[in-house]
A = this chain, B = another copy of it.
Amino acid sequence: MDRLINRRDIDFLLYEVLSIETLTQRERYAEHDRETFDAVINAAQKLAIDHFEPHAAELDANEPTLENGKVSIIPAVKEALSAFSEGGFMGAAMDFEHGGMQLPWVVVQACNAYFNAANLSTMAYPFITVAATNVLAAFGSAEQKARYLRPMVEGKFFGTMALSEPQAGSSLSDIRTKATPTSDGHYLITGNKMWISAAEHDLSENIVHLVLTKIPGGPPGVKGISLMLVPKYRLNEDGRSGEFNNVSCVGVNHKMGYRGTVNTVLNFGEAGECRGYLVGQVHHGLSYMFQMMNEARVGVGLGGAALGYTGYLHSLEYARQRPQGRHPHDKDPMSEQVPIVEHADIKRLLLAQKAAAEGAMALVLYCSTLLDLQRTESDPAELTRLSLLLDLLTPIVKSWPGEYCLEANKHAIQILGGAGYTKDYPVERFYRDNRLNPIHEGAHGIHGIDLLGRKVTMGEGAAFRAFILEIEKTIAQARPIELLDEYAELLEEILRELESTTEELIKIRDIGEVTLFLANASIYLDTFGHVTIAWMWLKQSIEAARRLSDASPDDRAFYQGKLRACQYFYRYELNKVPERLALLSSSDDTCLGMQDSWF
């Protein structure tokens, strides 16, 4: 039995629900076929089991340590990441021309699901490096690509994304790190960054920091942010890492989870000259970073989904093996105890996890497919539609898994009971690790404001309409299927309510009450997410229902499970939505009107 991610489900999502083989008809992916995809996913699964999972508990118990500015990490991490780089995974989605495998992002995410489930902390190092390579590939100069990007794709250099500062976390417009131009073409970097993951370690020859800075004299706020490439070691002419560039790690954070991923306080240029190299144009830094954010945020969603998923499978395994108690109608204390998977409440906790984890995974892979389509689309109208859809879904795919797969991890602990609360099993670690996801890469509340304040309303609602249209297509496909009629009906109703609630909210904005308009944006985000996941369950159920009658016994059970999880989501979760929408429509100001002195 799979304990990381159910491979049958990955195949179902990729090939039956998302039909990703059709991507190979596009020029970018023309050299691939399903066989390559499967081989890569197989390799990832094996690597995750052999090299990532075994040291996960050890790494959690032995977080990286800082001594004299140097961070040490248990050796197993470097070994795992060497195997990862050798397997080509650091450049799995990168263009051939930069040394990558040019695989579709959705295939890479299926691979990453295994790595994340096996060991989220170790996987964070390549996750951040890959994000940095994507920025450089898109916006770096030819020289930057040759000197920095190539060794990163090879896994010789690692990367970071250095955005936050002590006084500027959610509010990036307030960053202060300074980039002062010199006559030699480079900039001198001074200042501090905080919460920077993977920014000091002994895992790679060099670390390439992508740093948000302000060039003196530029415009205030986000319009004056420039992106700098700042290596830990300056490169010699021959491309080898040379002199220390005065990027100093002056502190590490001790965290409740994600403990294997070092999280640092950085100082630039205090002890000596720190050179930075402009990426792209001055003052465009934030937009470069945000153009790459969609991928990073899908990646955060994947982390949440993968943790929820493996927690589900671990608790399922336990529930099947652990005898405890008897059925309610059995009053004979001499009878055998039954495995707890037979108890209704345990089934409920398992179904809740299955619905959350598989629903989240479906959304992550759907959004990844959108990224692949967007990247390779030539028709301008379709490109616009894909981009709108993806922009709208980004706050959802970033946020929903971190919120509801955390809840799933809570259930996994509950199934294991006292055992789940101990370090003898990994479920408590999954729960601790997953708690970060609503915080980093934009806090939960920020995404609520992004969704309602920007995405839903942009282009006079163009993205929102594209979203509604997509769901309506799915509803239309589901309607003729008798098994799914109940769900199609309910989703249709709720979609209408979501539309009218959104209209009500926009009216509040239109009369200038922007603060009230956004006051409950987090609830809007969660509710919108529930509708989105319900859509994902209907998409899956259509394929399951269609295949049910001709399926093998194993597949039949698999499809029945999909249909039951869909039923669970509609009857136990989606039905919470109307009340939330009613609350939102009422523009309630209970929270907004609360006074500081009343707390």
Residues of A in contact with B (beta carbons under 8 Å apart) = 164, 167-171, 173-174, 194-195, 220-222, 253-257, 263, 316, 320, 323-329, 333-334, 337, 341-348, 350-351, 354, 406, 410, 413-414, 417-418, 420-424, 428, 431-432, 435-436, 438-440, 443-445, 448-449, 453, 514-515, 517-523, 557-558, 560-561, 564, 567-568, 571-572, 575-576, 578-579, 582-583, 588, 590-599
The listed residue (B171, B576, B596) touching A326 by CB distance below 8 A is B171
> Please, which residues of chain B bring their CB within 8 A of the CB of A414?
438-439, 443-445
Of all chain B residues, the one with the shortest Cβ separation from A509 is B328
Per the bound structure, the CA–CA distance linking A579 and B406 in Å amounts to 23
Interface of A is mostly: helix
Given contacts A418-B195, A598-B557, contact A344 B518 (CB under 8 A): yes
Given contacts A422-B255, A588-B571, A594-B564, contact A417 B435 (CB under 8 A): no
**In angstroms, how far is the closest chain B Cβ from the Cβ of A39?**
28
Per the bound structure, the CA–CA distance linking A579 and B6 in Å amounts to 33
Give me the 10 closest cross-chain CB pairs, A-B, nearest first: A221-B333, A561-B598, A344-B519, A345-B445, A348-B591, A256-B428, A171-B325, A557-B597, A254-B423, A344-B592
B599-A560 in contact (CB<8A): no
> Please, which residues of chain B bring their CB within 8 A of the CB of A448?
345
Per the bound structure, the CA–CA distance linking A325 and B354 in Å amounts to 37
> Please, which residues of chain B bring their CB within 8 A of the CB of A588?
571-572
Q: What copy number does this chain have within its complex?
A: 2
> Please, which residues of chain B bring their CB within 8 A of the CB of A583?
571-572, 575
Given contacts A345-B522, A417-B169, contact A599 B439 (CB under 8 A): no
A171-B337 in contact (CB<8A): yes
> Please, which residues of chain B bring their CB within 8 A of the CB of A257?
421
The listed residue (B168, B423, B519, B599) touching A350 by CB distance below 8 A is B599
B598-A564 in contact (CB<8A): yes
B327-A515 in contact (CB<8A): yes
| 24 contacts across the A-B interface (CB closer than 8 A) | A167-B324, A170-B325, A195-B418, A253-B421, A254-B422, A256-B422, A327-B515, A328-B449, A328-B453, A328-B515, A341-B599, A344-B515, A345-B448, A347-B591, A354-B599, A414-B445, A417-B443, A420-B439, A557-B595, A564-B593, A564-B594, A568-B590, A572-B588, A575-B582
